[in-house]
Structure 1
Amino acid sequence: MTGMSGGGEAWPALLPEALLLLGAVGGLLLGLWTPQQRQWRVRLLVTAACLASAVAAAIALPEPAERVFEGTWVVDTTTGVVRLVVALGVAVLVWLAAPSVAGHPRETEAYVLMLLGALGTIGLAASGDLLLLVAAYLLASVPLYALAGFAKDSAGTEATMKYYLMGAFVGVLLLVGVAALVLASGTTGYLELADLLPEASPALLALGVLGVLAGVAFKAGAVPVHFWVPDVTAGTTPPMAAYITTIPKIGAVAAAFRLVAEPFADLPLDVPLLVAVIATASMTLGNLAAFAQTDVLRLLAYSTVSQVGYLFMVVAVAARTDLAVPALAVYLAGYAVTNIGAFAAVAAAPAARTITDWATAVGRHRWIVVSLVVCLLGLVGTPPTAVFVGKLAVFTAAWDGALAWLVVVAAINTVASLFYYLRWIAPGFAGVPATPGGAEAATGSGARTAAGTAQRTEPVPVGVLHGAAVVSVLLGLGAGSWLAFALPS
């Protein structure tokens, strides 16, 4: 890794973030002077900012790692992958959300908040200092509280309140953890912490590690701070649910990865074992809770909780194997594409909230079902999808990092997850209810339900769904090539 830099020399390293920030500020100013019926201009500007940021991130990705601003901001492979995935993901999610926010009095603000949340996400991944981690946590949280309740209906308001209260509580735990680590070491920089923490008080270390990991686990949606995930996902609109369960999770997992690889690497505490237990609990409890779900958004919510378990497998071995970084990269990319595709399938028929309703709504559109099958089987880890390559890489890294028992647990959970995905896939293909009609009637009642009637599908989400399915397969087939190009040897 190259030496630290600061001042004017550091700014070029932050070009991808600067482009996102310019897009947010420019979009807000453009929206102020644009008539309500022409807010699509802001959407174009935000998309252009995301694509420009992705290009800048891709160009910088093969470059040697460096720490800028006195080591507080780390630019390396992990940060580069997060930059690229987040920028492209937000560009797609802006258009996925367009049908639901178009014409809204605060349409511009929705796009700007999505960019600001993306900046916070990248900040989580790039943090090389505990204080920057706290600032990134806030920036990756506050905009999302507003996005969760953007529809301003009763379900969205309840979701926002639960999200905010849980986020505030865990934020306090994060601050307590940071304070404990500062008391134990007298510093906040990751490199300095790595040198000083092994000789610190075990009690302060335990409190600090638990508090800091709680913060990043909340943003990732990991057990035991996952309780907000199903309520927020089911309470907001499908596009916003896709954003909330995809974008911040990417940065949070990368932040946990860096913490375990640097300041927590040589502690007298067994931090990898703690992370492995969190991974086990997340994948197992997420799968068990998903089995009983008939609401498609709640099913996907618990699916995202289980996915955190697989992602935290590579976090547990961050300091133990050289295979961890490429495994993290391919899984983050594959998960982002596949998860966005699954939520796009729900957004394609936004009034259908249960499995039966969704199967009825898309009964005449078999290609929608085919693309959904690719995305759901991709989340399972079926070849030749990107998540299959990611899981294979993660399992290999965990095995190489002496966590063979965790690989066995993950393999069992992978097989188990297939059953609740099939509960959605089967009626989609058959065009008949998955369970007796009365069983789902109560769950699906309300304004958003389309039980028993076919409905018009939204073209933009359908396009996103098909695109995600294709990209998932292409990433899986070409994983070796793009990893060799993107990751330094």
Structure 2
Amino acid sequence: MTGMSVGGERVLALLPELLLLLGAVGGLLLGLWTPQHRQWRVRLLVTAACLASAIAAAVALSEPAERVFEGTWVIDTTTGVVRIVVALGVAVLVWLASASLAGHPRETEAYVLMLLGGLGSIALAASGDLLLLVAGYLLASVPLYALAGFAKDSAGVEATMKYYLMGAFVGVLMLVGVAALVLAAGTTSYFDLAAQLPDASPALLAVGILGVLAGVAFKAGAVPVHFWVPDVTAGTTPPMAAYLTTIPKIGAVAAAFRLLAEPFADVPLDVPLLVAVIAAASMTLGNLAAFNQTDVLRLLAYSTVSQVGYLFMVVAVAARTDLAVPALAIYLAGYAVTNIGAFAAVAAVPAARTINDWATAVGRHRWLVVGLVVCLLGLVGTPPTAVFVGKLAVFTAAWDGALAWLVVVAAINTVASLFYYLRWIAPAFAGVPAAPSMQEGAGRGPRTAAGTAQRTRRGVPTGLLHGAAVMSLLLGLGSGWWLAFALST
């Protein structure tokens, strides 16, 4: 990719990010001059920016890896995959949110915040410097605080406060970690840290690594900084819950992967073991907490916590095996598609907040159940879905990276997760409640942003649910052939 140079750096190397930024600025300006009932124009502009960004990122995937702006921004396969998944994910989520945001006086601002949050997620993944990592953390956090409480009701305000306070606390821990690493090595560059940290003070190393990992673990929703996930997911609207549990998680996992592969690769502390323990705790506690959930959003929230555990498996072996990068790429793409599809099922019936309510509400819409089954079984890792191929790749990479015990734990958790997904699937298939609907969340009615039309459109979420189900199958089949070819060569 050739382009202009500013201070010796090629500006167009960041074309995908520039397109997202231009989409955010352009969307905000267009919204200022667009009547409230025609805010769909902004939606189209934002979607076009996301698609253009994804295309530019796909083109750049074929080029050699490089570091731009004095090595602070890394452009490689990991960054390229995150660019594509985030851009396409934001485009889909903008349309999913439109079903409940249409007519809102701040509809434009919501779409712009979603773009900026996506840009922050990409910055996390592309960071080659601790200071850029902190900036990415902030950009992937502040817009999301506003999105969490966009409904402006009591549940949304409570969700926003919990999210903000937890984010501020972990942000301070992250800054302490960055300061400790700077004291230990005298630099913030990943490249220089990789050379300096092996000889640094073990005490400073421990504080620095724990602080920085706490920051990325918070954005990923990993144990032990996962407490915000169920409350925020259940407190906001289903489309925003889908955004909060998908977009920042992708960038955070990629950021953790790069930290383990570069600056923390040769430190005297056993960082891979620490990440492996976090992975085991996340998948186990996430699954255990999901067993007794009756609120569908809280069930999916704990499901996302468990999914972080599987994603962190490949993070733990980032510097130990060549299979780590393709495994991460497949799982990130598969998780994004399937998770968005599961939340689209909830958004299609916004008034049904419990498992039994949802099963009753879709009695005359059986195709919703089919789409839900594909997405939920996809999250389990059932063939031939994308997450199945992703889990197979992750398990293979973890085994190759000498973490056989973690593979066993993950396999047990995969089987265990099937039971709480079946608790949702079985009543939906039967079409009648399995028990009287007395659970938390019953009768709340649809959650929409304040100032929005009371009736939400079911067509868009339903279409996205079925599209995600089909894409999960196609991506699983396609990536399965690609993975088989890669392993054979």
Q: Same fold (TM over 0.5)?
A: yes
C-alpha separation between the residues in 1 aligned to 2:33 and 2:458?
A: 29
SS at match of 2:67: strand
TM superposition score normalised by structure 2: 0.95
* Match of residue 314 from structure 2: 314
Cα deviation, 1:209-235, whole Å, max 9, x if unaligned, reads 000000000000000000000000000
**Do residues 437 (structure 1) and 432 (structure 2) align?**
no
* Match of residue 414 from structure 2: 414
C-alpha separation between the residues in 1 aligned to 2:299 and 2:361?
A: 18
**Do residues 227 (structure 1) and 227 (structure 2) align?**
yes
C-alpha separation between the residues in 2 aligned to 1:443 and 1:368?
A: 21
* Match of residue 96 from structure 1: 96
Cα deviation, 1:321-362, whole Å, max 9, x if unaligned, reads 000000000000000000000000000001110001111111
How many angstroms does 1:447 deviate by?
A: 3.6
How many angstroms does 1:445 deviate by?
A: 3.7
Displacement over 3 Å in runs of 4+: 480-487
Conserved 8 A contact 2:99-2:456: no
C-alpha separation between the residues in 2 aligned to 1:383 and 1:486?
A: 19
Cα deviation, 1:172-205, whole Å, max 9, x if unaligned, reads 0000000000000000000100000010000000
C-alpha separation between the residues in 1 aligned to 2:459 and 2:257?
A: 38
Conserved 8 A contact 2:351-2:443: no
After superposition, residues 117-156 of structure 1 pair within 5 angstroms as 117-156=117-156
Residues 416, 10 of structure 1: CA spacing in aligned structure 2 closer, same or farther, 3 A cutoff? same
C-alpha separation between the residues in 2 aligned to 1:354 and 1:120?
A: 33
SS at match of 2:74: strand
* Match of residue 67 from structure 1: 67
* Match of residue 472 from structure 1: 472
How many angstroms does 1:9 deviate by?
A: 3.6
How many angstroms does 1:12 deviate by?
A: 1.3
How many angstroms does 1:437 deviate by?
A: 0.5
C-alpha separation between the residues in 1 aligned to 2:446 and 2:472?
A: 29
Letter in 1 for 2:134: V
SS at match of 2:383: coil
Letter in 2 for 1:437: P
Cα deviation, 1:80-105, whole Å, max 9, x if unaligned, reads 00000000000000000001111111
Conserved 8 A contact 1:71-1:129: yes
After superposition, residues 369-388 of structure 1 pair within 5 angstroms as 369-388=369-388
C-alpha separation between the residues in 1 aligned to 2:360 and 2:168?
A: 40
Conserved 8 A contact 1:289-1:302: yes
C-alpha separation between the residues in 1 aligned to 2:418 and 2:456?
A: 29
How many angstroms does 1:483 deviate by?
A: 6.5
* Match of residue 244 from structure 2: 244
Letter in 2 for 1:252: A
Give structure 2 stretches of 5+ with no counterpart. Answer: 448-454
C-alpha separation between the residues in 2 aligned to 1:8 and 1:484?
A: 41
C-alpha separation between the residues in 2 aligned to 1:439 and 1:144?
A: 32
Letter in 1 for 2:232: V
Conserved 8 A contact 1:170-1:214: yes
Residues 302, 358 of structure 1: CA spacing in aligned structure 2 closer, same or farther, 3 A cutoff? same
Conserved 8 A contact 1:361-1:456: no
How many angstroms does 1:7 deviate by?
A: 2.8
Q: Percent identity?
A: 86
After superposition, residues 2-151 of structure 1 pair within 5 angstroms as 7=7, 9-151=9-151
SS at match of 1:123: helix
C-alpha separation between the residues in 1 aligned to 2:457 and 2:21?
A: 34
* Match of residue 450 from structure 2: none
C-alpha separation between the residues in 1 aligned to 2:433 and 2:456?
A: 19
C-alpha separation between the residues in 2 aligned to 1:179 and 1:484?
A: 44
SS at match of 1:331: helix
How many angstroms does 1:63 deviate by?
A: 1.1
Cα deviation, 1:4-53, whole Å, max 9, x if unaligned, reads x9735421110000000000000000000001110000000000000000
* Match of residue 184 from structure 1: 184
SS at match of 2:246: helix
Cα deviation, 1:106-143, whole Å, max 9, x if unaligned, reads 00000000000000000000000000000000000000
* Match of residue 363 from structure 2: 363
* Match of residue 452 from structure 1: none
Letter in 2 for 1:337: V
C-alpha separation between the residues in 1 aligned to 2:432 and 2:8?
A: 63
SS at match of 1:223: coil
C-alpha separation between the residues in 1 aligned to 2:253 and 2:328?
A: 9
How many angstroms does 1:366 deviate by?
A: 1.1
Letter in 2 for 1:15: L
* Match of residue 423 from structure 2: 423
SS at match of 1:26: helix
Give structure 1 stretches of 5+ with no counterpart. Answer: 450-454
Conserved 8 A contact 1:6-1:70: no
After superposition, residues 195-206 of structure 1 pair within 5 angstroms as 195-206=195-206
C-alpha separation between the residues in 2 aligned to 1:362 and 1:166?
A: 36
Conserved 8 A contact 2:100-2:456: no
Letter in 1 for 2:127: S
Residues 242, 332 of structure 1: CA spacing in aligned structure 2 closer, same or farther, 3 A cutoff? same
Letter in 1 for 2:50: C
Conserved 8 A contact 1:60-1:80: yes
How many angstroms does 1:448 deviate by?
A: 4.1
C-alpha separation between the residues in 2 aligned to 1:277 and 1:359?
A: 37
TM superposition score normalised by structure 1: 0.95
C-alpha separation between the residues in 1 aligned to 2:480 and 2:343?
A: 27
**Do residues 446 (structure 1) and 437 (structure 2) align?**
no
SS at match of 2:427: helix
- CA RMSD after TM alignment: 1.7
Conserved 8 A contact 1:349-1:457: no
